[in-house]
Amino acid sequence: MAKIKPFKAVRPTRDKVALVSSKSYETYPEDELIAKLAFNPFTFLHVVNPGYKYHKQDVTGEKRFKLVHNRYLEFKENEIFTEEQTPALYVYQKKSATHSFSGIIAGTSTEDYHNDVIKIHERTLKQRELMFENYLKNTGFNAEPVLLTYRENDVVNEIIEKYKSQRAEYEFTSSDKDLHLLWVINEQEDIDALINAFDKINTLYIADGHHRTTSSCILAKNLASENPNHTGNEDYNFFMSYLLSDNQVSIYEFNRFIKDLNGLTPDEFLIELDTYFRIENRGQELYKPKEKHHFSMYLKGEFYALYLRKSGYEFTDELSELDAEILFRTVLKPILGIDDIRDDSKIIYSQDKSDGLELKTKVDSGDFKVSFGMLPTTISELETIVDKGLVMPPKTTYIEPKLRSALTIYEIL
């Protein structure tokens, strides 16, 4: 049963929220990042890029994390941030031209992660886990919620709609033309109803934020061992999440781009592919798959349609039916020699929300020899694979919504 917790969020004052909140630091091109830091004194990017104040962009490691903490304290001291007076939950809605997402921001339990109530769909890297754990320990806060999804619940829906009918605490449009709205749930009756509703939900699925989740759990375990008065109710036993029903999650595919053909000529490579696929040369005609187990490929200036020969491939479990896994088992590993698709420098990934022309342009640039596209994984496939205790290949899903930093901040320490 899923455990959620209201918390006293630290958040921007209403008049500054549009200036403070930001996308994830890593998503900004360098020129845009520099412009925001130069012309917006309120952006949260000043907190996560603390060296800018001293004209030093090369501050790294623990020294940088401590400076992040100091910049955060300055934002609080300058009353850019204010702290909720009583613990609350939050309704957050994000609207674009094509999608609308509405969910609950809450504290979620590290114990639920260890007890397999909160489930993963991909593996994490130990080095990144420890880096994030060190970041959280030094900064003392979490500014970007983990995206968790669950099977739709009527009680949760009703409370979300109740608050959406009221005036929002925040309502602003970001520069990417998305509308953001936030409501504070501080009525105890509604808080209790949500806690009880999630207590009846068996599983929460991590949609985005595996490393942040694992790092929060590592930190909680370490702090518990250092605290002789540990009770399990301390703030460090929870991490901030955005809980969104699975029927609202949008999933896009990742394209695969390969730098070499493992010593094969294009013609030799096509012959190798023929073992597993029926191949159609589409020439300059852009091809995008319309069915599972169909793949698009761009090679030497031409598009190809690849249709899996089911007589030559064995479906053994739900994971083996996943298109990203099929591509790995039939092409990437046996033909192209890519054993570790997480770390091999010969392969890169790019999310596909466009018309598919990226398959062509990256290869035509000369940086890659071949590219592959496929249909996006469905939320049903993700849930089934996770429920079976299986793990998806890396870069199988690009999941939206992507959440902004510093709309609500959860203080761990």
Neighbours of 160 (CB within 10 A): 19
Determine the pLDDT at residue 25: 87
Q: Locate 233 and state its tokens.
A: 């109710």
Which residue intervals of the chain bear CATH 3.30.1760? 251-376
Backbone angles phi, psi at 211, to 5 degrees: -70, -40
Strand, helix or coil at 304? strand
CB 402 within 8 A of CB 24: yes
| Residues of the chain predicted below pLDDT 70 | 57-58, 352-355
DSSP-derived secondary structure letter, 88: B
Determine the pLDDT at residue 394: 85
Determine the pLDDT at residue 123: 86
SS3 per-residue string spanning 202-268: CCEEEEECHHHHHHHHHHHHHHHHHCCCCCCCCHHHEEEEEEEEHHHCEEEEEEEEECCCCCCCHHH
CB 180 within 8 A of CB 94: yes
Look at strands 250-258 and 398-400 and give their pairing: antiparallel
**Residue found by looking up tokens 């595919």 in the block:** 253
Q: Tens of pLDDT along 166-176?
A: 999 999 999 99
User: What pTM does this model have?
Assistant: 0.94
251-376, which class in CATH? Answer: alpha beta
Residue (of 156, 338, 343) closest to 244 by Cα position: 156
CB 223 within 8 A of CB 231: no
Determine the pLDDT at residue 355: 67
